[in-house]
């Protein structure tokens, strides 16, 4: 859906998020589709040289980093490339516009970006400047914790020449057709000159394409005039507005920054990100609004601004209102800061976070749709999934021992529980003793159980196909080939584990004993 560059930011007064805002965003993300974005900015190559730092130099009082081979040097795209990776994780078709040097590093940067799925025809070679490279030396002392010892930057901050400027603008204009949104990522390396910014904004707005800007930390923001949204962090906003930071920071200071920034830079809206305090959104002719974020246990702000810009772009390109777009970017940035370093946040992880924050996944019971989303996140983090199923009527010590052992087969234990209707079909008209809600409640209190899901089929065939676990566990004294679901397990190449029940303990014997003693 194409959005008008001005109307996308004029949505009327914004109030504090209602209780269902996370649920609303969760549903919106389910409908996200691919979109074209043109990303203009400073593309870099991040390099790490790793080695042992176990002695001091005899020539000077500095540590010596000993790398074993050239394989200890790793390279990955950085700078605006991080935004490209974040956009790609959110389903974008990313077209890049910028410059690199005519050097080996520039060729490597373009190759790596192309390999990641980005369109790199708009990356112009500029023989007058080097490719921007951030080279970090990482030392490992006594084979323990890696520490950054030093960073060497290869770069030019000189503004682009008029010739290269013209080629960059031409490249932007040629790729703008069909774009849903334009992102401008400025790291003050000379690419986002006043003329480039002005023409990018003019060309985009003339075609009704919104322009989102992550600004550089400089005092003059006039080059971004006419943009749809600018997303400075607290420090960048203080540079532009020249407002002194109070001792305690705070949200009131964020309100003042947003209002003053909008006066300094005539754009449709400004989003001032405030780290742990969330963000403040202000639009023309409206009062600023605070949009909080959840407190996080780990805090590394590296890459948070990139994720904010990418999430805003994805949401706006998919027709989400500006206030909800900012809320979504808050959640995305919150996930980013829980990771040391830079990591793109995929849609599945965002949806899961929204599900958690909405309170819909309290406890272990899941709907099948929510469970599958959660498992997608677990798999992306390298966790193995174990599935078992049963009636669990009546729950006893044998069940507990069996589930505890099943959990030890992998990382995440999912338990499928037969509905009351199917328990009756399997066990007879006097069963279940405990209704499905009661059985779920008892199983949910077991620490070994990560997720519970009801299923209403006589066999677990459909559940196995849906969950597609790494390991399927069944309890009983029989061979794997005797399991009813054996055919689908073999078809899907799922590992089978048969665990023996505790001898002499089963639900039927427990029920019979209770009846005989009553």
Q: Does residue 179 share a domain with residue 45?
A: yes
424 and 348 inside one domain: no
Q: What is the mean pLDDT of residues 474-482?
A: 80
Q: Report which DSSP code applies to 233.
A: B
> How far is residue 5's CA from residue 271's CA, in Å, rounded to a whole number?
16
In a domain, residue 1? The reply is no
Domain end among 326, 357, 388: 357
Reported as a pLDDT band with limits 50, 70 and 90, residue 516 is low
Ranges 34-38, 97-101, 179-183, 324-328: which has the least confidence: 324-328
Tokens matching residue 12 = 């009327």
What does the alpha-carbon distance between residue 234 and residue 249 come to, in Å, rounded to a whole number? 9
User: Which tokens in the block code for residue 67?
Assistant: 């790398």
- Token pair 């520039």: residue: 106
Residue 392 structural domain: 368-517
- Identify the CATH number of the domain in which residue 44 sits: 3.40.1190.20
3-state secondary structure of 168: helix
Residue 99 CB-half CA count within 13 A = 34
Q: Which band of pLDDT confidence, cut at 50, 70 and 90, is reported for residue 2? A: very low
Measured CA to CA, the distance from residue 144 to residue 147 in angstroms comes to: 9
As a whole number of angstroms, the distance between CA 191 and CA 129 comes to 11
Looking at the fold, whether 337 and 397 belong to one and the same domain comes out as no
Question: Band of the pLDDT at 512, cuts 50, 70, 90?
Answer: low
Question: Which has more confidence, 29 or 93?
Answer: 93
Confidence of residue 515 (pLDDT cuts 50, 70, 90): low
Task: Return d(Cα 228, Cα 283) in angstroms, integer.
Answer: 10
> Is residue 71 pLDDT above 80, yes or no?
no
DSSP 128-160: TSPPPEEEEEEEEGGGS-EEEEEEEEE---SPP
Q: Give the domain-ending residue among 357, 387, 408.
A: 357
Q: CA 300 to CA 298: how far, in whole Å? A: 7
Domain boundary among the residues 357, 391, 412 is at 357
Number of compact structural domains in the chain: 2
Spatial contact of 4 and 209, defined as CB atoms under 8 Å apart = no
- Among the residue ranges 96-110, 225-239, 404-418, 499-513, the one predicted with the least confidence is 499-513
| 397/350 same-domain check | no
- Residue of 268, 306, 420, 450 marked active site: 306
Write down the residue that tokens 């023989």 correspond to. 127
Q: Are residues 136 and 262 in the same domain?
A: yes
Annotation says 306 is catalytic: yes
Residue 126 has pLDDT above 60, yes or no: yes
Q: Is residue 75 part of a domain?
A: yes
Residue 8 has a pLDDT of: 40
- Sequence length of the chain is 518
**CATH for 472:** 3.40.50.620
CB 83 within 8 A of CB 185: yes
pLDDT of residue 518: 60
The CA-based dihedral angle spanning residues 457, 463, 466, 467, taken in that order and rounded to the nearest 10 degrees: 160
Task: Give the pLDDT confidence score for residue 3 in this predicted structure.
Answer: 39
pLDDT band at 513 (very low <50, low <70, confident <90, very high): low
pLDDT (mean) for 113-122: 96
CA distance 180 to 313: 9
pLDDT per residue as tens digits for the range 414-423: 999 999 999 9
For 17-26, write each residue's pLDDT tens digit: 445 777 788 8
Whether 254 and 309 map to the same domain: the answer is yes
Q: How confident is the model at residue 300 (pLDDT cuts 50, 70, 90)?
A: low
Shared domain for 262 and 302, answered yes or no, is yes
HSE, CB side, 13 Å, CA atoms: give it for residue 494. Answer: 30
Q: Is residue 509 part of a domain?
A: yes
Residues 353 and 382 in one domain: no
Lowest mean pLDDT of 53-62, 116-125, 222-231, name the range: 53-62
Q: How many Å is the Cα radius of gyration of the chain?
A: 28
């Amino acid at each position: 859906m194409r959005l008008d560059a001005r109307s996308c930011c004029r949505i009327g007064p914004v109030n504090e998020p209602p209780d269902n805002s996370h649920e609303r965003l969760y549903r919106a993300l389910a409908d996200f589709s691919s979109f074209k974005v043109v990303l203009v900015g400073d593309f870099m190559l991040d390099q790490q040289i790793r080695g042992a730092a176990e002695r001091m130099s005899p020539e000077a009082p500095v540590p010596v980093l000993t790398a074993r081979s050239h394989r200890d040097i790793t390279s990955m795209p950085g700078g605006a490339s991080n935004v490209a990776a974040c956009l790609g994780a959110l389903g974008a078709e990313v077209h890049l516009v910028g410059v690199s040097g005519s050097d080996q590093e520039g060729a490597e940067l373009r190759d790596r970006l192309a390999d990641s799925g980005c369109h790199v025809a708009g990356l112009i070679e500029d023989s007058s400047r080097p490719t921007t490279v951030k080279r970090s030396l990482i030392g490992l002392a006594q084979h323990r914790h890696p520490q950054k010892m030093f960073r060497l930057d290869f770069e030019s901050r000189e503004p682009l020449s008029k010739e290269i400027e013209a080629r960059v603008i031409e490249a932007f204009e040629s790729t703008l057709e069909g774009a849903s949104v334009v992102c401008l990522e400025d790291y003050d390396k000379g690419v986002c000159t006043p003329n480039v910014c002005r023409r990018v904004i003019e060309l985009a707005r003339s075609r009704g394409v919104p322009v989102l800007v992550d600004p550089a930390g400089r005092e003059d923001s006039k080059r971004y005039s006419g943009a749809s949204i600018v997303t400075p962090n607290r420090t960048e906003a203080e540079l532009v507005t020249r407002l002194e930071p109070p001792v305690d920071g705070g949200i009131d200071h964020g309100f003042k920054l947003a209002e003053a920034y909008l006066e300094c830079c005539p754009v449709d809206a400004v989003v001032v990100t405030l780290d742990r305090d969330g963000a403040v959104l202000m639009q023309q002719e409206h009062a600023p609004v605070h949009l909080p974020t959840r407190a996080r246990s780990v805090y590394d702000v590296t890459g948070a601004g990139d994720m904010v810009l990418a999430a805003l772009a994805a949401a706006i390109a998919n027709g989400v209102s500006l206030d909800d777009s900012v809320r979504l970017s808050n959640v995305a940035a919150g996930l980013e800061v829980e990771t040391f370093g830079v990591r793109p946040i995929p849609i599945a992880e965002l949806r899961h976070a929204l599900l958690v924050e909405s309170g819909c996944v309290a406890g272990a019971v899941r709907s099948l749709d929510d469970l599958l989303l959660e498992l997608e996140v677990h798999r992306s983090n390298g966790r193995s999934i174990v599935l078992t199923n049963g009636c669990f009527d009546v729950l006893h010590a044998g069940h507990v021992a069996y589930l505890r052992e099943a959990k030890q087969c992998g990382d995440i234990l999912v338990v499928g529980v037969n509905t009351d209707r199917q328990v009756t079909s399997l066990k007879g008209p006097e069963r279940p003793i405990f209704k499905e809600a009661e059985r779920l409640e008892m199983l949910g209190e077991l620490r070994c159980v990560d997720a519970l899901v009801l299923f209403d089929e006589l066999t677990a065939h459909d559940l196995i196909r849906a969950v597609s676990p790494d390991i399927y566990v069944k309890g009983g004294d029989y061979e794997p080939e005797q399991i009813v679901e054996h055919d689908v397990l073999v078809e899907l190449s799922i590992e089978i584990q048969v665990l023996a029940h505790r001898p002499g303990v089963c639900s039927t014997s427990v029920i019979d004993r209770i009846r005989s003693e009553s």
